[in-house]
Structure 1
């Protein structure tokens, strides 16, 4: 058994196998660049157990094969991959997704049999990448994102939040407006949602239209399309749920019909095109 474990070809095969871990982390990074990752209720804990367990197993395999070329390569590449994973998820607070591969990346960077000069040079570059990258991320979000806090209005708002206190007398109406049958367009291509905005002034209520059916639902989490949305109005009053629905005009054009306050008149906004995908939404750029 000892001879098998010390065999160079066994180590090479295991080293190549560990590349699967780097591939999965890269895939998660790419997925969270294009989508918002949202955990299924009560599925975060089991996901963390599996995710952390797999990370530990692969880290041990990498330590075992630390002198192999593939492991050395992974140890150098994993830190920048995790940096982008951090960048795309820090705004959502998905630390469950970030911490296990970050620990693996740090441990393997120092444990791998990479040349010490390479470690010093790459370590300096990566340190600057993380520090300057996070500072740039914070600055961009402050400049472009501002201090506004948006909350999607649903009947399941946390009763302990200030947002709920604004709409507690409107929950029945809110449930009717945001019911799935009402929010999805007749052709199934779009859906709308309503958002409460807390800002430095009196705040507002916004109505957005987004593509429908482009989310990816998996066992532990869903990947929700992001970066494509059309603002219908930003003039709603906090505490008042607007009447919103879909209509088809005489020219067979799809439109959103809305009334911001009970006494106001109905308005329409035609939906003919959607904005192009914004790939830099994570930086607060809208």
Structure 2
């Protein structure tokens, strides 16, 4: 048995377990950057982490002369820096791992000079990291007091909400936050929730009490009808591939935007018109005014491209320049030339428009765009806001400062179209105190 544990190959194989522990630390580092941690059982978590760390320390001390263990001993403490800063105060989680990292760094098989240099660098990382973190927290994060007064989950379980009252110097506020309920990382001891996914669906100043939240399930078609009834100009932004699948060509979506007043007047628009103008809506004479031609098959082209535009495309003057074939540089050059030399005012910008009107889409097309057949809709009922009692006039009746309201504040439909909750993306959070 002694010869087995003294064998160098046994140590090399067992040293791979130190990689597993190091990966666990890096996983925790990743979670601290992108997730908030909510611990359920602090004592159990502390015991579990302590047990795993002790076992890992024994293994790493046994294999401390192996190159794999040496490398791991150099990585544990740097990886723990974000955990220490962002989960500050969760000592049952932090202390066992930090102690393990310190011990194995000091007792690893690396040379004394290497260990001294690395320990100095890591110490400086912690000092400057902590200094920067606390300075940022002190100067750039507002000191406010929040109180969560209600939480809940939607009928489908896809979303959850919380109502938060905030006390500040401006009489406070009440906000309702909605976030996905399916993106959490859960284990027996803690739940990790993605940062930066909460959206404010209702905000009121001052604090409003007595808000009632009601959820209901509505079909895609019913919500489409509601939105179209609200406005017939609601637009959705889609990709090139989606435009093609919806039946649009490149030329169908070519628009003139940022038109000057003189160009608007030339196509019978008023100076107050701000919407982009589709090339398909212009007559042949109007297109000619902008230097654009149209073939019988609907393709648009530049009638007299400048030498610089031709150079961008490496075209000769006798070759027709179709707009859908122009590269970004050629289109940018063409737009830069549409300027009044005397005043520097831009006449117009030619570009492809990626928006489509909601009222032009069928239910099948909305299904293709990723809108589920049915989902959750949140309606809130808000009681009237009454004035505070007047100590000088105790018999005076309260005055209604704001009327009662009932309104829809969240539709799953809009969340899916606008991609509110992209649970596959990761964004750094600068709300360091969240």
Using structure 2 for the length normalisation, give the TM-score: 0.53
Aligned partner of 2:161 in structure 1 is 192
Structure 1 unaligned segments of length 5 or more: list them.
155-177
Q: Distance in 1 between matches of 2:83 and 2:25?
A: 8
**Aligned partner of residue 214 in structure 1, secondary structure:** coil
Please list, as runs of the form range in 1=range in 2, the aligned pairs for 1:62-211 lying within 5 A after superposition. 62-90=60-88, 93-154=89-150, 178=151, 180=152, 183-184=153-154, 188-211=157-180
Give the equivalent residue in structure 2 for 1:173.
none
1-side partners of 2:226 and 2:186: how far apart? 32
What is the CA distance between 1:285 and its match in structure 2?
8.7
Does 1:257 find its partner at 2:379?
A: yes
RMSD: 2.7
- Aligned-residue offset at 1:259: 4.1
C-alpha distance in structure 1 between counterparts of 2:51 and 2:224, whole Å = 58
Q: How many pairs does the alignment contain? A: 255
The structure whose RCO (Cα within 8 Å, separation 6+) is larger is 1
- Counterpart contact for 1:255–1:270, Cα < 8 Å: yes
Alignment of 1:14-53 (within 5 A): 14-40=14-40, 43-53=41-51
- Conserved? CA contact 1:150–1:195, under 8 Å: yes
Rounded Cα–Cα distance in structure 2 between residues aligned with 1:87 and 1:73: 23
Work out whether residues 243 and 260 of structure 1, in 8 Å CA contact, stay in contact via their aligned partners in 2: yes
User: Which secondary structure state, in structure 1, belongs to the residue aligned with residue 225 of structure 2?
Assistant: coil
Q: Is the 8 A contact 1:144 1:285 kept in 2?
A: no
- 1:280 aligned to which of 416, 423, 428: 428
Q: Is the 8 A contact 1:236 1:260 kept in 2?
A: no
Higher Cα Rg: structure 1 or 2? 2
Q: Residue 251 and residue 97 in structure 1: after superposition, are their counterparts in 2 closer, same or farther (change >3 A)?
A: farther
Displacement of 1:282: 5.4
Query: Structure 2 vs 1, CA of residues 194 and 135 (structure 1 numbering), >3 Å: closer, same or farther?
Result: same
> 1:239 Cα shift?
7.4
The Cα of 1:217 is off from its aligned counterpart by 2.9
Please give the alpha-carbon distance, in whole angstroms, between the structure 2 residues aligned to 1:259 and 1:96. 43
Deviation at 1:234, TM superposition (A): 3.1
Contact 1:29 1:88 in 2 (8 A): no
Counterpart contact for 2:145–2:166, Cα < 8 Å: yes
SS across alignment from 1:213: coil
**CA deviation vs aligned residue, 1:212-238 (integer Å, no higher than 9, x gap):** 222233222222232111112332544
Q: Does 1:218 align with 2:187?
A: yes
**TM-superposition CA deviations, 1:144-183 (whole Å, max 9, x none):** 32111323224xxxxxxxxxxxxxxxxxxxxxxx4x4xx4
Structure 1-normalised TM-score? 0.77
Unpaired segments of 5 or more residues in structure 2? 228-375, 386-402
Question: Residue 211 of structure 2 is aligned with which of 222, 233, 242?
Answer: 242
Contact 1:236 1:242 in 2 (8 A): no
Question: Which residue does 2:409 correspond to in 1?
Answer: 269
Q: Which residue of 2 aligns with 1:164?
A: none
Note the C-alpha offset of 1:283: 4.3
